[in-house]
Amino acid sequence: MTDGPAIQATVRRATYRSLMLFSGRGNPELSERIAEKLGIRLGSVLTKTFADGEIYVKYGESVRGADVFIVQPTCRPVNENLMELLIMIQAAKLASAHRITAVVPWYGYSRQDKKSQPREPITGRLVADLLVAAGVDRVLTMDLHAGQMQGFFSIPVDHMTAIPMLADYFRFKGLDDVVVASPDAGGLKMAKRFGDRVGASLAVLTKLRPEHNESKVMHVIGDVAGKTAIIVDDIIDTAGTLCKGAEALLDRGATAVYAAATHPVLSGPAYDRIADSPLKELVVSDTIPLRSDAHRDKIVVLSSAGILADTIHNVFADESVSALFQGENQLF
């Protein structure tokens, strides 16, 4: 054995990571808008449902080492879209993605965030556990029904909001003498943020909910006489509370009633109720696609693609998202 300089073999690995955006079947139009804002194309993924109802997913290109963002709101059909999201996450995990972020603009089961009665589940927590078990590294969502749901996760959650975008729509509309009405006491914080942005006073609707998806407006707290009212909520489901609230505000002297909400769930008779209601306009975001066969004359849709695209960019670049969360410099 001869003495000589040691020979050291070094293997260098590229540190470059690629951003890859994929869409489930929940809201492909929103996914396309996000991709356009980011200046990239949607990744290729084959998703289909077998005859027995089972869902199959296969990525059409390599995701190894990539930052994978999967856009899939868990809207109707809720359980199918949720299962599809879980399968897409696991498929990316098994294909050696570097990091997987579930972009869930509408988080299904978010209203089941606590036990209101004995022997009830906390299904919002169950969904969080399923996402983590599937292999997701991060969740990006918008206007959770209860912000403390972020605590259901043991991974980072970016909780964005459409309220500044919705408020700016009305601010630029130039309405006079505006009052912002919360549909219940729990929505006061959201209404206050909305009101501060449009320079409006506050009112509250009190209601009784005897059954799920049923409500009865009882009283209006606040001065609404001679003012233009805007009802602000995170979710519009069957629109019963919304339409009864509009009637109550007009009965108390409001000159006109508008409404704004992030998530247009719009179940059952919601479209017909809105069409027949005294509402001037309902302004929503596109976290959930609207039905194409329903009455939509009074409904205005603003895109959340810019908010989500900016957040995706900052997450990928390891930059702060706090300014985006506050809605700074966001326009519709």
Domains 19-161+306-325 and 163-302 share a fold: yes
pLDDT at 213: 55
CA–CA distance, 81 with 87 (Å, rounded to integer): 10
**Closest C-alpha among 92, 78, 99 to residue 27:** 78
What mean pLDDT is predicted for residues 74-91?
A: 98
Phi, psi of 157 (to 5 degrees): -130, 120
Amino acid letter at 170?
F
Q: With b meaning 16 or more CB within 10 Å and e meaning fewer, what string describes 210-249?
A: eeeeebebeebebebeebbbbbbbbbbbbbbbbbbbbebb
- Chain centroid offset of residue 6 CA: 58
Amino acid letter at 77?
P
Phi, psi of 246 (to 5 degrees): -60, -40
pTM, two decimals, is 0.91
pLDDT at 325: 64
For residues 61 and 324, which has the higher predicted lDDT (pLDDT)? 61
Residue 329 clears pLDDT 50, i.e. is over it: no
Report domain extents, the chain. 19-161+306-325, 163-302
String of DSSP letters for 206-223: EEE-SSTT--EEEEEES-
Residue 292 confidence class, pLDDT cut points 50, 70, 90: confident
CATH number listed for the domain at residues 163-302: 3.40.50.2020
Q: Which of 93, 114, 189, 207 is catalytic?
A: 207
Give the tens place of pLDDT for each residue, 12-63: 555 568 999 999 999 999 999 999 999 999 999 999 999 999 999 999 999 9
Beta bridge partners of 263: 235
**Other beta carbons within 10 Å of 266:** 26
**Closest C-alpha among 275, 260, 96, 274 to residue 178:** 260
Q: Is 207 part of the annotated catalytic residue set? A: yes
Give the tens place of pLDDT for each residue, 97-150: 999 999 999 999 999 999 989 999 999 999 999 999 999 999 999 999 988 899
Structure tokens at 193: 């943020």
Residue 322 confidence class, pLDDT cut points 50, 70, 90: confident
Q: Going by CATH, does the domain composed of 19-161+306-325 fall within 3.40.50.2020?
A: yes
pLDDT at 257: 98
**Closest C-alpha among 281, 302, 308 to residue 290:** 302
**Closest C-alpha among 86, 88, 27 to residue 263:** 27
The alpha helices in 95-239, defined as continuous H runs, are 123-134, 163-173, 188-198
SS3 326: coil
